[in-house]
Amino acid sequence: MFNSMSYLHLQQYWWFLIGVLAGLFVFMTFVQGGQTLLWTLGKSEEKRDLIVNALGRKWELTFTSLVMFGGALFASFPLFYATSFGGAYYVWMAILFCFIIQAVAYEYRKKPGNVFGERTYEVFLFINGSLGIILVGAALGTLFTGGNFVVNDMHLSHWTKATYGLEALLSFFNVAFGFMLFFLARLLAALYFLNAIDDEEIARRARIVLRYESGIFLLLFLYVAGSILTMKGYAYDPKTFVVHIEAMKFLHNLLAMPAVAVTLAAGIVLLLWGLGLGIFTQSDKGIWPAGIGTVLTVLALFLLLGYNHTAYYPSLADPQSSLTIQNSSGSRYTLVAMSWVSLLVPVVLGYIVLVWRSMNRTKITVEEVESDHHHY
Amino acid sequence: MHIDPSLVEWSRAQFALTALYHWLFVPLTLGLTFLVAIMETIYVKTGDEWWKKTTRFWMGLLAINFAIGLATGIIMEFEFGTNWSNYSWIVGDIFGAPLAIEGLMAFFMESTFFAVMFFGWDKVSKRMHLLSTWLVAIGSNLSALWILVANGWMQHPVGIRFNPDTARNEMVDFWAVLFNPNAYSKFLHTISSGYVLASLFVISISAWYLLRRRDIQFAKRSIMVAASFGLIVSLFNVTTGDDSARHVAQDQPMKLAAMEGLYEGKSGAEIVTFGILNPSKKVGDKQEPFLVKVAIPEGLSLLSYHRVDAYVPGIRELVYGSKEHGILSVAEKMKRGKEAVAALAAYKAAKKAGDTAQMAAAKKRFEANSAYLGYGYLKTPLQAVPSVPTTFYAFHTMVGLGTWFVLLFIVILYFTMTDTLERHRKWLWAALFSLPLGYVAQEAGWITAEVGRQPWAIQDMLPVGMATSNIVTSPVMITFWLFAILFTALLIAEVKIMTTQIKLGPVELKEDSHV
């Protein structure tokens, strides 16, 4: 099957998988969103414990999704891995710091003798959920706005700004992208809490969050989506690979790829439906349409970025250094080998769904948390 | 492309710092997941609630360790991009694959079933819970497999071809990479060393309870499981260590020479079991390499090649060459490597100019010398020699401690089986203090493997000096210190939490006894 695919189709297949992984990661950031709602929804210690334990059973999946996203990028598009991580050094390192402190916070927060106190670990969770996600969003924003790098004849890259990626935060679009993800994560968290926690007070407060913050998210989303569709993009000639700037490139991509347009529309509708269920009804099922909608929307954005002869990581310093799925990928042999491995993805998703269902069959309660010696 | 030497050193320091911290936590996870799986299996088989509570106690300690292992692990994956971006391009086509497979096959299994293992006691059936615990153990060990496939490939690169058009190494044989014998000997040696550490962990903590005359039954039963497991895996660890060393002899003779302090090659080479190196010894001079040594004649030849008269090259022959034994000097390899570097540049220039005749000529010249490409980036022949004292002492520390652990497991198991362990308090103290020694052995093993292969990021192919990111030094210095502070603070918290939990002991068992 994969052996007979063309090199370009393999590159497109892998970009599709990267988009799916990015979508799953963004969906799973409800964990981070929930961490920022700890004090908003949890007005007593026992309620905060309940929230932390509801998230604590999922945080490793988010963490793993991020690691998997990195690993898949390394295997399939190593030039992006080298160029962006090695160039936008400060931004990626700051993101990693935000995730390091998350990894210990759940386990150490309530443990006696934790040296720094419960509140410190809660602050760690807040930093991970806020700064971590805003920075991830800003980094993703640079896929549209570009980075300051040059790739030489030997495909070795260097950054041209001494701020090593921090300059991305001067772009209003990138920052708006970051805050959009931040609010999306909070909304998904509120929907997740409705689905996973049996507590009236937390449910009531979660619906208030949905009511007020959906508007902020939608404003940011409209700005970001509008900017993407009207901004210039970096296109390349499929024969000569020469990069040129094209006005409204992403709008052209959307019109040229109806399947992507349908995916984007379906994603947005499902996301809004999920939010609507949480705001206008007493349903606790909003997380599912909103989650699927998130995955589809992010996937569609990635397809707009990488397909239709588009540079998915434009170079502001030297447009001809811009990265495309064709000039930054692994070799044909490696993509074929990894494509066979990718057939495991449905198996992995299958057991995650099964485990999720058995663990969330009944909602988590204060009593359950208090009766467990190992609770977070 | 000019790379600042201080950047290389700071990048190495940061990676070493991260790896040293990461390796404090991973081996315990590798082994303790299996030990708790064994204990839970006993619980499911016997239906005895006592074993369930014992399992939950050790599982609690595992969780504390697991969290910080994850925290330090995420950095390592991304540091290949942030700090070693040239590396990421030059070998990313091969190296990225095992990392991605690790994420897909191992990390998701670990993280998904970890939640069931810790919070699913009352949510899933007893057998489903047991299966989850075993899947966490298998997942964490599968993770080690893929990482060591990647690391083994760095020590012994196979299944690749350098593509001058993309200026990188590309995979041409996935199965060769996957079944690289170097990787499997490293994998088995690494995971078995993790099992040894986990056994020491359980025995050491249990010994402390016995010394304090508390939680006696819990401690004795835990020791019985851990000592039995520990003895089997420590013996296995010895055999995998032997196998791993033979691969080093074949694939990385310079590392072997540094591990043994072997400056002059010889047939029937002795193995030094204990020695103090002569600090003023230089490669090629006439000084004795050791101030003091205890050696077994012909031992190194026998262990490395299974022949007592086998020739083992020393550092001098590996640097200056030996016609008699067909060893090229580093200077000659550097000359050929520089030829390859120049031919590659000529090929790229000809390609840019569209000169196909020049391209063909340059490619031919490149391919004739490409095996030595990495040597073309060395400055002096002596750069090919790793730090001999660091490698030698680290290796001998590891081997010495590994031998001690086998003896400890035999004695502790014997006393446990004869129910006399409580009377042998000196051995209980020895068991208690062997836990830090276990960590020393782990780090020493890692230092042997990684320092011993310097200056290579990829053996004979890519020196560390060519592998770094093209950034200035200051960002790396800043993040180095931030990591150092953060990891140290988290380590302090981890140790304090762990010791507090140990002092509290198996609380659920105590509650049971009150009833």
Where are chain A's structural domains? Answer: 7-371
Q: Which of B60, B89, B112 sits opposite A352 (nearest CB)?
A: B112
B101 touches chain A (CB under 8 A): yes
Which amino acid type is present at position B106? A
Category of B284 on φ-ψ map: left (φ > 0), alpha (ψ -120 to 50) or beta: left
Q: How far apart are the first and last CA of chain A?
A: 46
Q: Do A374 and B118 touch (CB under 8 A)?
A: yes
B154 lies within 8 A of chain A by CB? no
Interval B101-127: pLDDT, tens: 998 889 889 989 998 998 888 889 999
Residue B511: the pLDDT is 67
Stretch B446-451: mean pLDDT = 95
Residues with Cβ within 8 Å of residue B265, at least 6 apart in sequence? B257, B311, B312, B313, B314, B316, B317, B318, B322, B325
Segment A19-78, tens digit of pLDDT: 999 999 999 999 999 999 999 999 999 999 999 999 998 998 898 888 889 899 999 999
CB contact at 8 A, A270 and A263 = no
Kindly state whether A160 is in contact with chain B, defined as any CB-CB distance less than 8 angstroms. no
- The residue among B55, B58, B83, B111 with the most chain A CBs within 10 A of its CB, best to mutate, is B111
How large is the ipTM? 0.92
Query: How do beta strands B456-458 and B311-312 pair?
Result: unpaired
Tell me if B74 and A89 make a contact (CB, 8 A cut-off): no
Structure tokens at B144: 């080690």
- Residue B375 DSSP symbol: G
* Amino acid at site B198: A
Which among A4, A28, A364 is positioned nearest to B119, based on CA atoms? Answer: A364
Mean per-residue pLDDT of chain B: 93
Tokens of A325: 């799925």
**Mean pLDDT across B263-279:** 94
With the C-alpha atoms ordered B300, B317, B252, B447, is the resulting torsion angle positive or negative? positive
- Dump the DSSP string for A93-137: HHHHHHHHHHHHHHHHTTSTT-SS-HHHHHHHHHHIIIIIHHHHH
How many Cα atoms occupy the beta-carbon half-sphere of A368 within 13 Å?
20
Is A320 strand, coil or helix? Answer: helix
Distance CA(A327)–CA(A298), nearest Å, equals 23
B96 inside 8 A of chain A by CB = yes
What pLDDT digit, counting tens, does each position of A273-286 carry? 999 999 999 999 99
Residue B29 has a pLDDT of 94
Rg of the Cα atoms in chain B: 25
A354 touches chain B (CB under 8 A): no
Contacts of B1 (CB under 8 A, 6+ apart): A152, A154, A156, B470
Q: What is the pLDDT of residue B76?
A: 87
Q: Both tokens of residue B96?
A: 């990225």
Question: Which tokens in the block code for residue B403?
Answer: 């031998």
Count other C-beta atoms under 10 Å from residue A44's C-beta. 10
- Contact yes or no for B159/B177 (Cβ under 8 A): yes
How many CB pairs lie under 8 A apart between chains A and B? Answer: 275
Q: What's at B446, amino acid-wise? A: W
- pLDDT recorded at residue B3: 67
- Return the SS3 of B85: helix
Whether residue B507 is predicted with pLDDT greater than 90 in this model: the reply is no
Residue numbers in A near B96 (CB within 8 A): 71, 73-76, 78, 81, 330, 334
* Residue in B with minimal Cα distance to A375: B119
**In 3D, which of B131, B128, B134 has the Cα closest to residue A358?**
B128
Number of H helices, E strands in chain B: 19, 8
Q: Please confirm whether the linkage preceding B506 is cis (ω < 30° from 0).
A: no
Strand partners, A149: A159
Torsion angle defined by CA atoms of residues A134, A135, A137 and A141, in that order, rounded to the nearest 10 degrees: 130
The token pair that represents B13 in the structure block: 């320091």
Residue B417 clears pLDDT 70, i.e. is over it: yes
In this predicted structure, the answer to whether residue B482 has a pLDDT above a threshold of 90 is: yes
How many whole angstroms separate alpha carbon A332 and alpha carbon B390?
Answer: 41
Interface probe with A: pick from B55, B87, B88, B160, most Cβ of A within 10 Å: B88
The pair of structure tokens assigned to A20 is 């799916």
What residues in A contact B75, CB-CB < 8 Å?
96, 100
Residue B76 neighbours by CB under 8 Å, 6+ apart: B15, B18, B19, B22
CA distance B321 to A69: 46
The closest of B102, B106, B103 to B114, measured between CA atoms, is B106
Domain locations along chain B: 5-252+386-505, 261-320, 330-377
Segments of chain A scoring below 70 in pLDDT: none
Whether the per-residue pLDDT at B512 is higher than 60: the answer is no
Q: How many CA atoms lie within 13 A of B184 on its CB side?
A: 7
**pLDDT at residue B209 greater than cutoff 90:** yes
Are A64 and B136 in contact by the 8 Å Cβ rule? The answer is no
Separation CA B33–CA B22 (nearest Å): 17
- At how many degrees (to 10) do helices B5-46 and B216-251 cross? 140
What local confidence, expressed as pLDDT, does residue B2 receive? 64
Cβ contact B82–A92 (<8 Å): yes
Q: Is B284 on the interface with A (CB under 8 A)?
A: no
Give the pLDDT score at A17: 95
- Rounded to a whole number, what is the distance in Å from the CA of B248 to chain A's nearest CA? 27
Q: What is the dihedral of CA B94, B95, B96, B100, to 10 degrees?
A: 110
Q: How far is CA A260 from CA A14, A21, A220, A224, A265, in A?
A: 16, 17, 21, 17, 9
Question: Would the pLDDT of B305 be above 50?
Answer: yes
For chain A positions 6-45, those within 8 Å of chain B (CB to CB) are none
For residue B162, give the 3-state DSSP assignment. Answer: strand
A372 contacts A109 by C-beta, under 8 angstroms? no
Per-residue pLDDT, B515: 33
Other CB atoms within 10 A of residue B281 CB: 18
CB contact at 8 A, A112 and B500: yes
SS3 per-residue string spanning B372-392: HHHHHHCCCHHHHCCCHHHHH
Residue B201's DSSP bridge partners are none
Rounded Cα distance, A274 and A271, in Å: 5
Token reading at A136: 């991830």
Helices of type H across B370-506: 388-417, 425-451, 464-467, 473-504
Which segment of A97-106, B32-41, B69-78 scores lowest on mean pLDDT? B69-78
The H helix count followed by the E strand count for chain A is 18, 4
